Amino acid sequence: MSRNNNYHYLFNTMKINYLMIATGLLGFGLGCFGQVTPSAREVMERSRDQAKLSGLESKTTLEIFDGKGNKRVRETTMASRLFSDGTEKRVIVFLAPADVKGTGMLIFDYPDKPDDMWIYLPTLRKSRKIVSTEKGKSFMGSEFSNADLAVGGIDDFTYQFEGSEVMDGVDCWKIRMTPANATIAAEEGGTGRITWVAKKDYMPRRTEFLDKSGKVYKELIFGGIKLIDPKGGKYFVTHMEARNLKSGRYSIMNMDQVAFNPSVKEEYLTLSFLENQ
């Protein structure tokens, strides 16, 4: 009798981690800086360093369009909390479609070592410790890749100012990101990215991905930026689009509900909760 398991859920759903990391990363910026213009690396570094909220709850919808008018929808909910040692713990649960409902993930994002990550599959009835890699893979079949949505190491790229431009009515720094080594270049699959970061809030507005010939083949567009933590000067991206300019496919991610909550219950951030939710 066959006792093999369904691992396709595992493969699909492990990637939700990156989405939430990214929404965390991209959602935070500095309210303002002094008049001294930072370097390109400092701009990216400051955005990255500010990329963690003390606590957050959200509900997200991901719409995947195939360019032929067909649409697929996935929904998730997430709770995260930043602890005093710098560890951010997140729990993510799939809400839709119905065939993956109840699938959950628990991520411990450490400041100084690789993440710990578990996935709970209702069909297996137990959580599994999984590998947190595969950066280049499509996120849930969308145009977002795992790497698009991951924080990534600041040293993965070198950064260079390419001037200032107004993007969607906002004054931005235009920064070229070049892979720092062959490994990162291979993961990127191209020659790098150009990103526009708003001067007023250090939030990204757009990122273009360059293929090996230097042409733009994909773009990420960020919108719905809201001040979520007025005291801490934290902003949050509530709308993201990923557009594949070659295939015409695109995906839209909306944070339907977001709540800044530094007091997210610790019990949510445990394997017991993941397995019994």
When asked if residue 57 is in the footprint of other proteins (CB under 8 A), the reply is: yes
CB 243 → other proteins: shortest distance, Å?
15
* Residue from the set 39, 49, 101, 181 that interacts with other proteins by CB under 8 A: 101
* Residue from the set 32, 39, 49, 123 that interacts with other proteins by CB under 8 A: 123
When asked if residue 129 is in the footprint of other proteins (CB under 8 A), the reply is: yes
When asked if residue 8 is in the footprint of other proteins (CB under 8 A), the reply is: yes
Measured between alpha carbons, how far is 33 from 23 in angstroms, rounded to an integer? 22
Considering only residues 138 through 157, tell me which ones interact with other proteins, judged by CB under 8 A.
Answer: 138, 140-142
Measured between alpha carbons, how far is 185 from 201 in angstroms, rounded to an integer? 29
Considering only residues 20 through 49, tell me which ones interact with other proteins, judged by CB under 8 A.
Answer: none
* Residue from the set 38, 95, 161, 185 that interacts with other proteins by CB under 8 A: 95
CB 116 → other proteins: shortest distance, Å?
5
CB 163 → other proteins: shortest distance, Å?
36
3-class SS string, the chain: CCCCCCCHHHHHHCCHHHHHHHHHHHCCCCCCCCCCCCCHHHHHHHHHHCCCCCEEEEEEEEEEECCCCCEEEEEEEEEEEECCCCCEEEEEEEEECHHHCCCEEEEEECCCCCCEEEEEECCCCEEEECCCCCCCCECCCCCCEHHHHCCCCHHHEEEEEEEEEEECCEEEEEEEEEECCHHHHHHHCCCEEEEEEECCCCCEEEEEEECCCCCEEEEEEEECCEEEECCCCEEECCEEEEEECCCCCEEEEEEEEEEECCCCCHHHHCHHHHHHC
* Residue from the set 35, 84, 213, 276 that interacts with other proteins by CB under 8 A: 276
Nearer Cβ to other proteins (137/199)? 137
CB 54 → other proteins: shortest distance, Å?
15
User: For other proteins, what does the binding mask look like between residues 64 and 83, x meaning CB under 8 A?
Assistant: x-x----xxxx--xxx----
**Sites of contact with other proteins (CB under 8 A):** 1-8, 11-12, 57-59, 64, 66, 71-74, 77-79, 91, 93, 95-99, 101, 108, 110, 113, 116, 122-126, 128-134, 136-138, 140-142, 249, 256-259, 261, 264-265, 267-268, 270-272, 276-277
